[in-house]
Chain A
Amino acid sequence: MSMSAAGIPAATTAGGFLLVLVLVLPLLGVLAALTLGGRNARRVAMTAIPLGLVLAIALGIELMKSGQALVYVLGGWAPPLGIALRADGLSVVMLLTTALILLAVAVYGQADFQMPAGVDEARAPFMFWTLLLAVWGALNALFLASDLFTLYVALELLTFAGVPLVSLSGSPETVQAALRYLLFALLGSVLYMLGAVLLYGTYGTLDIALLAERVRPVPAVIAAAALMTVGLLAKTALFPLHLWLPPAHAGAPAAASAVLSALVVKGSWFLVVRLWFDVMPGVVTLSAAQLLAALGTAAIVVGSVVALRQERLKLLVAYSTMAQIGYLFLMFPLAFDPAGNAPVHGAALDGGLLQVVSHATAKAGMFMAAGLIYAALGHDRIADLAGVARAMPVTVLAFALAGLALMGVVPSGAYLAKKLMLDAADGSGQWWWMIVLQGGAVFTAGYVVLVLVSVLRSRPGPMPLVKRVSRLSELAALVLSMSSLLLAFAALGPVPGDLVSNPLAPKELGTLLAVVLGGALLALGLSRRSLLATARPATGADGGLLRRSAVAVGEAFELADRAVRRWQAASISLLMLVALVGGLLVFGAPS
């Protein structure tokens, strides 16, 4: 499924023109939406996105026919003088996922972002559709470009498209969240740019394939690798650089949060993968990869515990994103070759890619469901969600399926991803990551159980619904959640079929039960309000000793999270990470 970038000739391959079309279509969409204005913005989006999906599918077919990466040399000038577009399996999977999720978000957003009657153009709807196309254009450029500077411009496109989505509602908190996001993202991209400068200074080219041939672990390249990696980590909001993510993703409207969580943070992750696997595989070391996975583990634990402590549903889902981003980095140490020298395109990378796709679809579905609950109730306080399951069954089902998909229940994509990564961990003897992979599901189950218990409670009186939610939006959320849950079947083509066991087999059911039980225990202990709270206070003031110590642990995590999310702490951690990664690249190198 994945193909290596080395050894690809810099000449346009058959079907390469599709790459140009996939790149240009969203950009044309943005320009058209801006010029035509008003109601046409939505019409342009609803025309272009399905068309883009068709193009992405055509690209996938072309790729499978040709068996190697598709290349298009722009302007007829081959690298190093010119730039090329390149699509391998990794790009095509991301392109398809992006198009699918954007289609679902577009369908979902029909209800909330219609231009009001009697007005030519209103700000929020116009901006929503234009920004949707803008994010799409930036992501396509990111997945297709094969030159480090073009990728820098694509990163900036992504930031400029994502930031206004955060402040789409216009409230002061979201504007502040958007400003923090922008400033931290700019810090990340300027470090990336610095790395690119060092690479050009050493090798005279920024083309990925050419650099792959020439790169050696000299000081300039090591510095570049450290700077670029950490800069991209800041844009991906990996712990401890996640200061901007929770308020940004929680404050945005649900459709925007879906795009931000599912797609925008994946763009910079994709670039880290490109750098590590395709540009500098001989430079990055196993110890540096272990550091990334360690940060990922911290993200999973801290994010999940703080998610459990939240009182608002959207903040819970935002912290869940922060935790799930940790999963994306577990694959790095598992992808190294048996000798531990360089990462290879193998089962671990396939697992990581599956993880990304399943997280993207599940998280988008989850945010959409949370948004529908917010719209229907007028609030998203977890403690007051009783009766929602009865009133909005489709929405709650979408949320539940998304939660199951994130937990890695058979046959979700996350399950298959976990299997692939467990195999890789077993094979390379890194048993500690096996513990994290298995244990992470319990943390995820914690907050999923918390929400489900809240919505499944019955309400004594009538349900005070503020608004009827659109059936279409519910369906969009449900379709995304289901696709994540059934992803293992879709991925079965290139992956051996015996990896997906029968979901009703006793072993799988037993694992599921253990995970859910573990999650319930976590939720019982750590959530802010007792899971089984009723109107009357519990007999012994704050509950027993166990509950009080668990709550203290939860509070400690929250305080730690808030401390790390201060600007000075986060930016100082950023520089410390640059030094740490640089050091591990120098000293972790196999002799």
Chain B
Amino acid sequence: MNAVTLYGLCGAALVGLGLYGLIVNPQPLRKILSFNLVGSGVFLLFGVVARRGAAFGMGGDPVPQALVITGIVVAFSATALAVALLLRLHEAAGSASLAAPEPPAKPDA
């Protein structure tokens, strides 16, 4: 297998790692981090697709490369919004947890 396929497998691994972190890590900040991991893995896969499309003197297909740039910016804005929400939650409620509080048991009429 050539080097480009290795990058593709790396991208797949990053997606898997990120998904695991997103599910398992309880801190919202680390969920945000894992989301970034998944995102960068997906973009890496796109980069692999771009590299495989190299032709006409260009090192890679420029369309996926351009889409990756757009995607990186969008992912950053999503991260910024998520962090702002998290900090506001911490400020307003003192906690930084995503778990909804269990409602108290109530007798039925």
Contacts and interface: CB of A to CB of B under 8 A. Distances in A.
Tell whether any CB of A sits under 8 Å from a CB of B in the complex. yes
Interface of A: 81, 149, 152-153, 156, 159-160, 163, 167, 170-172, 175-176, 178-180, 182-183, 186-187, 190, 193-194, 197-198, 200-201, 204, 247, 528-530, 533, 537, 542, 551, 562, 565-568, 571-572, 575
A182 B78 contact: yes
Contacts of A542: 108
A183 B53 contact: no
B44 to A, nearest CB: 10
20 contacts: A152-B71, A160-B77, A163-B85, A170-B92, A172-B92, A176-B100, A179-B82, A179-B98, A183-B98, A190-B38, A190-B42, A197-B49, A200-B49, A201-B48, A201-B52, A204-B61, A529-B109, A551-B108, A562-B102, A567-B98
Contacts of A186: 35, 78, 82
B100 A565 contact: yes
A562 B101 CA distance: 11
Nearest to B78: A186
Contacts of A198: 45
B74 interface: yes
Interface residues of B, number: 42
Given A179-B89, A204-B61, A575-B23, 6 more contacts: A167-B85, A176-B100, A179-B28, A201-B52, A530-B109, A567-B99
B28 A183 contact: yes
Q: Which of A170, A197, A247 has the most chain B CB atoms closer than 10 A to its own CB? A: A197
A194 B89 contact: no
B24 A568 contact: yes
B69 to A, nearest CB: 12
Contacts of A175: 85, 88-89, 92-93
Nearest to A565: B100
B19 to A, nearest CB: 7
Interface of B: 15, 19, 22-24, 28, 31-32, 35, 38-39, 42, 45-46, 48-49, 52-53, 61, 63-64, 67, 70-71, 74, 77-78, 81-82, 85-86, 88-89, 92-93, 98-100, 102, 106, 108-109
B27 to A, nearest CB: 11
Contacts of B45: 194, 197-198, 201
Contacts of A176: 89, 93, 98, 100
B41 to A, nearest CB: 8
B99 to A, nearest CB: 7
A197 B68 CA distance: 10
Contacts of A149: 67, 70
Given A176-B98, A179-B28, A575 B19 contact: yes
A454 to B, nearest CB: 13
A160 B99 contact: no
A172 B93 CA distance: 6
B109 to A, nearest CB: 4
B73 to A, nearest CB: 10
Nearest to B88: A175
A527 to B, nearest CB: 9
A153 B88 contact: no
Contacts of B77: 160
Given A163-B81, A183-B35, A247 B100 contact: yes
A562 B105 CA distance: 13
B89 A197 contact: no
Given A179-B28, A190-B35, A200 B46 contact: yes
Contacts of B109: 528-530, 533, 537
A172 B46 CA distance: 38
B94 to A, nearest CB: 9
A75 to B, nearest CB: 14
A568 B81 CA distance: 22
Given A186-B82, A193-B42, A551-B108, A200 B64 contact: yes
A551 B109 CA distance: 10
Contacts of B78: 156, 159-160, 182, 186
A562 B102 CA distance: 9
A564 to B, nearest CB: 12
Q: Which of B28, B52, B98 has the most chain A CB atoms closer than 10 A to its own CB? A: B98
Nearest to A175: B89
B97 to A, nearest CB: 8
Contacts of A182: 78, 81-82, 85
A34 to B, nearest CB: 15
Contact of B85 (A179, A187, A533, A551): A179
Lowest 6 A-B CB distances belong to which pairs?
A172-B93, A201-B49, A172-B92, A571-B23, A179-B85, A529-B109
Nearest to B100: A247
A194 B22 contact: no
Contacts of A575: 19, 23
A115 to B, nearest CB: 23
Nearest to B108: A551
Contacts of B81: 160, 163, 182
Nearest to B28: A179
Contacts of A170: 92
B24 to A, nearest CB: 7
A187 B22 contact: yes
A581 B62 CA distance: 32
A194 B42 CA distance: 6
B23 A568 contact: yes
A148 B53 CA distance: 19
Contacts of B92: 170-172, 175
Nearest to B31: A183
A204 B53 contact: yes
A344 to B, nearest CB: 31
Contacts of B53: 204
A183 B34 CA distance: 11
B46 A156 contact: no
Contacts of A201: 45, 48-49, 52
Contacts of B67: 149
A179 B86 contact: yes
Contacts of A551: 108
A533 to B, nearest CB: 5
A172 B95 CA distance: 10
Contact of B74 (A156, A163, A562, A566): A156
A566 B99 contact: yes
A230 to B, nearest CB: 12
